[in-house]
Amino acid sequence: MMWNQEMETMPRTELTALQLDRLQKVVNRVYERVPFYRRAFDERGLTPDHIRHLEDVRLLPFTKKSDLREHYPFGLFAEPLDRVCRIHASSGTKGKPTVVGYTRNDIQQWAEVCARSLCCGGARPGDVIHNAYGYGLFTGGLGVHYGAELMGATVIPVSGGHTQRQVMLLQDFQARILCCTPSYALNIADVMQDMGISPDALNLRYGIFGAESWSEEMRATIEQRLGITALDIYGLSEVIGPGVSMECYQAKQGLHIWEDHFLPEIIDPETEEVLPHGEEGELVITSLTKEAFPVIRYRTGDITSLNPEPCPCGRTHIRMNRIKGRSDDMLIIRGVNVFPSEIERILVGTPELSPHYQIVLRKEGALDRADVNVEVDPSFFAALGKESMDEETMRARPAVQTLQQRVERQLAETLGVRIHVHLVPPRTIPRSQGKAVRVVDQR
């Protein structure tokens, strides 16, 4: 089902006209109200009147995460604080968080795109939706929550953590939809297994998973372990939160960007040149409807490509492919570029391994060294013979050594660089409660 059929299937010519109208309005808004943008436009000799066609967006300056930091906390807001009814912030690993604000209208638009996304991912009015995205400054919990309420679902606002209790609630409340990060879905699957609860005891049909990068191989694993269809939802707080784009359950291939609200471009992250459809690069988004915190050509840092092909689901909004990674998560190991997601694909595609892993980066002299710690699958571990075994004993087993060498070889062949693999016993890598920490940088 579609939440907003008229918008979601709008013919391209109409959609483009709507986008242009909205782009002109938002450009006016930031020019009049945000000194940062006024200055950037002036430097380029630009005024809002220069925006006559949709492609004229390319005349506009980019906005970067560092611009948000430099105007911390409210310096880029286009509304006075007394018109802002909500603040969110993204944690940010270093320094101050990036802060965003919403007017009452913005909250409504956000609920709209989240309602669309949920329906696009298989939810229907009347469903019980188990929402295990974190509630708080993080946009995941409240974003999905408002969308679920708007579309007429019953929301279970459980947030992250207390996984055993979550499993009990999933069973007792018979949720049909699970919303959380893919790594947390895996955690839930493990805990269910420990508790001796089979997916058949649950009513789950769809998982709406995002907020971190994950691979097709991870999708297959989660689907099999939870007995559901797993779909990808994308968003970022700087743009709105979850609900920027969503995969449809019909095609299950690429995420529809809600283009009446968000104008996408793909650029070469080095040259900032706009790339044609199909080419991989950094996703850039311009807000078309935000009031309190519109962004112009925001550089998301996320690497993907756009697919304008018509979709079997009937939606006309363009699709973006699964995010390959963030440009700042890209590892450069001895000069070779590697995304953690590429390592994940190989690990998760190996049946003797479990999908729990961590990548540790170190300096070895002047060079970078990458080590991957990955758990062996409990069934493989059990087949080694002993009930419990420490890491060293385990690694001394010939079967373990053969497996380790095989995985190292496969990584080297696929990625073109040596990655050291350390197999560890099941349940030894910290479990995710929200966004998983996949890379530990000790350099």
Q: Under 8 Å CB-to-CB from 172, ≥6 apart: which residues?
A: none
Asked if 213 interacts with ligand DLL (CB under 6 A), we say yes
Asked if 240 interacts with ligand DLL (CB under 6 A), we say no
> Please, are residues 233 and 256 in contact by the beta-carbon 8 Å criterion?
no
DSSP 55: G
Cβ proximity to ligand DLL: between 20 and 120 the closer is 120
Helices (H), 34-124: 35-43, 65-70, 104-120
Write b or e for each residue in 158-182: b if 16 or more Cβ atoms lie within 10 A of its Cβ, otherwise e: bbbeebeebbebbbebebbbbbbbb
Tell me which residue has its CB nearest to ligand DLL: 210
- Cis-peptide into 73, omega within 30 deg: yes
Cβ proximity to ligand DLL: between 103 and 245 the closer is 245
Cβ proximity to ligand DLL: between 170 and 240 the closer is 240
Task: Give the CA angle between residues 236, 251, 290 to the nearest 5°.
Answer: 30
Positions in 366-425 near ligand DLL (CB under 6 A): none
- Choose which of 178, 211, 347, 419 interacts with ligand DLL (CB under 6 A): 211
Asked if 242 interacts with ligand DLL (CB under 6 A), we say yes
- End-to-end CA gap in the chain: 49
> CB under 6 A: which stretch of 34-42, 227-235, 270-278, 291-299 binds ligand DLL?
227-235
Q: How far is the CB of 311 from ligand DLL (least distance, A)?
A: 18
> Please, are residues 242 and 143 in contact by the beta-carbon 8 Å criterion?
yes
Task: State residue 118 phi and psi, 5-degree precision.
Answer: -60, -45
- Choose which of 22, 65, 71, 326 interacts with ligand DLL (CB under 6 A): 326
- Choose which of 232, 259, 260, 375 interacts with ligand DLL (CB under 6 A): 232
Asked if 300 interacts with ligand DLL (CB under 6 A), we say yes
Q: How far is the CB of 278 from ligand DLL (least distance, A)?
A: 19
Asked if 233 interacts with ligand DLL (CB under 6 A), we say yes
Asked if 354 interacts with ligand DLL (CB under 6 A), we say no
Cβ proximity to ligand DLL: between 37 and 110 the closer is 110
Asked if 237 interacts with ligand DLL (CB under 6 A), we say yes
- Choose which of 3, 37, 206, 234 interacts with ligand DLL (CB under 6 A): 234
Across-strand partners of 320?
Answer: 255, 306
Q: How far is the CB of 243 from ligand DLL (least distance, A)?
A: 8
> CB under 6 A: which stretch of 49-57, 229-237, 378-386, 412-420 binds ligand DLL?
229-237
Q: Give, in order, the Cα–Cα distances in Å from 218 to each of 127, 213, 352.
A: 25, 10, 14
Q: How many CA atoms lie within 13 Å of 441's alpha carbon, on the beta-carbon side?
A: 9
Torsion angle defined by CA atoms of residues 317, 318, 323 and 324, in that order, rounded to the nearest 10 degrees: 170
Cβ proximity to ligand DLL: between 213 and 221 the closer is 213
Helices (H), 151-227: 163-173, 182-194, 216-226
Positions in 92-121 near ligand DLL (CB under 6 A): none
Across 132-278, the runs of DSSP E, i.e. the strands, are 154-156, 177-180, 206-210, 229-236, 241-247, 255-257, 262-267
* Spatial CA neighbour of 149 closest among 209, 101, 185, 107: 107
Asked if 254 interacts with ligand DLL (CB under 6 A), we say no
The phi-psi region of residue 151 (left if phi > 0; otherwise alpha if psi is between -120 and 50; otherwise beta) is alpha
- Choose which of 147, 160, 207, 210 interacts with ligand DLL (CB under 6 A): 210
Q: How far is the CB of 148 from ligand DLL (least distance, A)?
A: 12
Q: How far is the CB of 438 from ligand DLL (least distance, A)?
A: 11
Asked if 131 interacts with ligand DLL (CB under 6 A), we say no
Asked if 146 interacts with ligand DLL (CB under 6 A), we say no
| Binding interface with ligand DLL (CB under 6 A) | 90, 133, 138-140, 210-213, 232-237, 241-242, 300, 302, 323, 326
